[in-house]
Chains A and B, each alone.
Chain A
C-alpha cells in the first residue's frame, strides 16, 4: 500500500530510471518534458544537468553511455530537431552502456510551436521506440528501454505525449536496484569513429539490428493482444488505448508497447481474427500506413482526425455507427482567457516600447512571445528557439536601406544561450545593422524557473560561474552593448531609439528578474492605485495589458461614485491591489499622475 504512489508520467519515468540504475541524465527544459529531469535530479546518488540545448544534452548522454553507464537524454519533441545531428549517427555507433532518449510530444500544441509526430524520428533514424499509455507504463517502459538498449546495443526512444507526461495515475514503485560501477574507458575506433569507411560498415550493423528488433517485437509482452468481441478490433498505442477502452471496453485490442519496429506477424494474426479493424493514433498515420502497406485493410485517418489530441469523445464519435447524442448543454460563448504576461512582468515595459516604436520585432520562444497579442503587439514573428537573431539579420539584409532602424531581434536569456550565440556571431561577422535584445529575466521562466548557464546555479543546486552576456557579446564582435532596466520606460525607449539610429550590430540586455522568481526579484513592491480624482480616462495604462488594471465605465458605476475630470471621459481605470506588484510601469506612463502609491 505504501508503495502505491500517485505519479505523473514524468515522475514515473524519473522513478523507473532511478530504480533500474540510471545515474546520468542531461537535457534542456521544455513542456511537457521538464519535470522528468527535475524529478530525477532529486534522487540520491544521481548526476543530472541542464545543458544549454538538446543537442548538447544528447551529446553528453552519448558520452556517458560510451563510458559504460546508463544515460538518459530528455527533451520535448522539437528538442529532438535540435539534437537530430548526433541522433542519426549514434544510431550507427550504438552505445557502450545504455542510452535512452525521451521525446515528449505535444499533440494539440498546448505549449509548443508545432505538432510534429516524433514517431517518425524512430523510423527515420532507425531507433526502436517505446510508447507508454499511462504512468504505470511509463515507469515500467523506461526500465525496458534501458534493458533493450544494452541488449541490442542501440539508443532507444521513449515517447510520451503531454497527456501521458502530465496525467497522474497510480504507480507501484519498488526499491532501487544496487548499482554496479560499469564505467571504464574502452577504445574501439571502428565502432565509434564515424568516418565513411567505418560508418559504411556500421550502416550494415544497423540493418541487422533492426531485423533482430523486428523479431523481438513479435514476442515482446508489451505488444499485447486482448481478444474480446471479434467483430471490431483496434490496433493502437499510447494514450489513445485508454480513450478507446473507456468507451469500447468490449472490443478486441492489439496494444503496441513498441511503436517501432512494429510486429508484422502479430498484427497479421490479430487482423485475421477481426472482422473490422481500426487503427487509433493521434497525429500522423504512422502505424496505419505500415499496416496498409502489409495489405491489411483498416479504418484510420479516414475516420479519425490528423490534428490535435484525442479524448474518449473523439474516439466514440469516430467509431460509432449510430449517432452519438450531443452533450446536454451547449455552453454560452464567454470571453476567452488566453495566457497573459504576469502582473509586474519585466517583458511588458520592453514590448510596450517596441510596439509603440513600430519596429518589426523578430521574436523567439518564451513568455515574451505572448507580447504579440493585443494590446502590446510588440512581437511579430516566432519560429523556433534561437531563430529571432538570424531572422532579424536576414530580414534587414534583404530590406537594405528600407530596413534601417526598423528591425530588431528579441530573445530570452535561456533561449539566447540555447541557440542564439551562433546567430549573434554571424550578425557581428556579417556586419548586421540590427538591434538585438536579450530579455534577461535571470531564469528559464516559461517552463517554471529552471537554471541555465547565466543564473549561477546548476540543476542540482551547485553554484557555477555565471555567463556574462555583455562580455560574450564583445568577444563575438558586437560593437555596442547596452544594459537597460525594462521597468524604466524612459531609459528603455531612449536606448532602443539610439541603437536603432546607429549602423552596425548592437546588443541591448534588458535586465530585470522574472516577477515570479523570488530568488532574484525579491518580494513584490507595494501595490499602486488609481486616484479617481485625477484619472482623465485616457486608457493609456490599459495599453499595457497588465492583469490588475481594468476599465470601469461610468455607466456601470453608481451616480454618486462617478468622478469626471474631463468632458469626454466615460470611465476610469482601476487597479486590483490583490494582483498589482508595484512595478510602476503604468505609473510612468500616466500623464495625469493618477496612479499613486499608498492607501486611499
Chain B
C-alpha cells in the first residue's frame, strides 16, 4: 500500500493547517500536540492563535505551519492545505484560507452563536452544499460521537487529530508517543482510543 499523499503539501516547502472552532473545544491543545509530533519528526514548526477574549464563546483558530524553515506563524488566505473545522459553520467562515486543491475536515457538530439562539439569524442549513469543494475534498466526521465511544466526549479534539493524521505523512508511532505524554495517566487510554477511531474514520 502506498503512503497517503500529504495533502497539505502543494508544491511548497512550507505547508499550513488551519484549525477553527469555538472556545472550549480543545483546539489549542490539539494544535500543540500536532506541533510536538512535527518537531519529533525533525520539522521546523510555528503555530499561532489568539487567546484572551476569544475564549469566552468566540471563534478560536490555530494556524500550524511546518516545513524545513518556517517564517510566518500565520498562513495567508488561499494557502492552507487542510482546514479542520471543529464546528460545522466555522468551515464556512474560514474557507477563504483554503487552497483550491485543499481539503476540509468538518466535525458534524453545531454550536449556535448568540444571534441564532435569539432567533435573529439562521444557522446555515446544509453546509455541505455551501462548501464549494469537490466531494472527495470534504471529510465529514462525527467526532463527538466517536469521543463518547472512546470513553470521554471531551476527546473530540483528538478524534479530529486522528482524522488529520491520515492526510499527513507522519509516523503513527510518533503520534502515539506524543499522545502518551500529553495527558494525565488516567486520560491517556481514552485519548489514544479517540485518536485511532479518528484515524480509521
Q: Point out residues on A near B: beta carbons under 8 Å.
A: 4, 6, 31-32, 110-111, 134, 162-163, 166-170, 239, 242-243, 245-247, 249, 311-313, 316, 325-332, 334-342, 367, 370, 373-375, 446-448, 542, 545, 547, 549-551, 553, 571
Contacts and interface: CB of A to CB of B under 8 A. Distances in A.
Q: Interface SS of chain A: helix, strand, loop or mixed?
A: loop
B159 to A, nearest CB: 17
Highest count of chain A CB atoms <10 Å: which of B35, B57, B112, B123: B57
B90 to A, nearest CB: 8
A236 to B, nearest CB: 12
Given A6-B39, A312-B76, A313-B77, A331 B45 contact: no
Contacts of A542: 117-119
B30 interface: no
A334 B89 contact: yes
B42 to A, nearest CB: 9
Given A337-B113, A339-B58, A542-B118, A169 B73 contact: yes
A335 B89 contact: yes
B54 A331 contact: no
Contacts of A367: 56
Contacts of A311: 72, 74, 76
Interface stretch (B1-9, B92-100, B165-173, B187-195): B92-100
8 contacts: A31-B53, A163-B74, A167-B48, A247-B76, A316-B76, A337-B90, A338-B114, A339-B53
Contacts, number: 168
A446 B58 CA distance: 13
A313 B58 contact: no
Given A330-B96, A337-B90, 5 more contacts: A6-B47, A169-B45, A332-B130, A334-B93, A339-B58
B73 A163 contact: yes
A97 B107 CA distance: 54
Contacts of B136: none
B145 interface: no
Nearest to B70: A169
A328 B76 CA distance: 12
Interface string B126-170: 000010100000000000000000000000000000000000000
Contacts of A166: 48-51
B70 A340 contact: no
A167 B52 contact: no
B116 A550 contact: yes
A313 B72 CA distance: 11
Interface residues of B, number: 58
Nearest to A341: B56
A170 B56 contact: no
A524 B71 CA distance: 44
B57 A547 contact: yes
B51 A334 contact: no
Contacts of B55: 339, 448
Interface of B: 14, 22-23, 32, 35-36, 39, 44-59, 70-79, 89-90, 92-100, 112-119, 121-124, 130, 132
Contact of B32 (A6, A243, A325, A329): A6
Nearest to B133: A329
A447 B52 contact: yes
Q: Which 3 pairs of residues, A with B, have the shortest CB-CB distance?
A: A111-B52, A327-B78, A313-B76
In this complex, which of B78, B112, B119 has the most chain A Cβ atoms within 10 angstroms of its Cβ? Answer: B119
B121 A335 contact: yes
B133 to A, nearest CB: 8
A166 B51 CA distance: 8
A339 B56 contact: yes
Contact of A339 (B57, B116, B124): B57
Given A335-B115, A447-B52, A327 B32 contact: no
A242 B35 CA distance: 19
Given A313-B76, A339-B56, A327 B46 contact: no
Q: Which of B49, B113, B114 gathers most chain A CB within 10 Å?
A: B114
B52 A32 contact: yes
A243 B57 contact: no
A246 B72 contact: yes
Nearest to A243: B72
Contact of A340 (B14, B58, B124): B58
A329 B104 CA distance: 13
A110 B53 contact: yes
B37 to A, nearest CB: 11
Contacts of A339: 23, 53-58
B51 to A, nearest CB: 6
A171 to B, nearest CB: 11
A192 B132 CA distance: 67
A329 B98 contact: yes
Given A335-B115, A340-B58, A329 B132 contact: yes
Contacts of B39: 4, 6, 170
B77 A549 contact: no
A392 B74 CA distance: 42
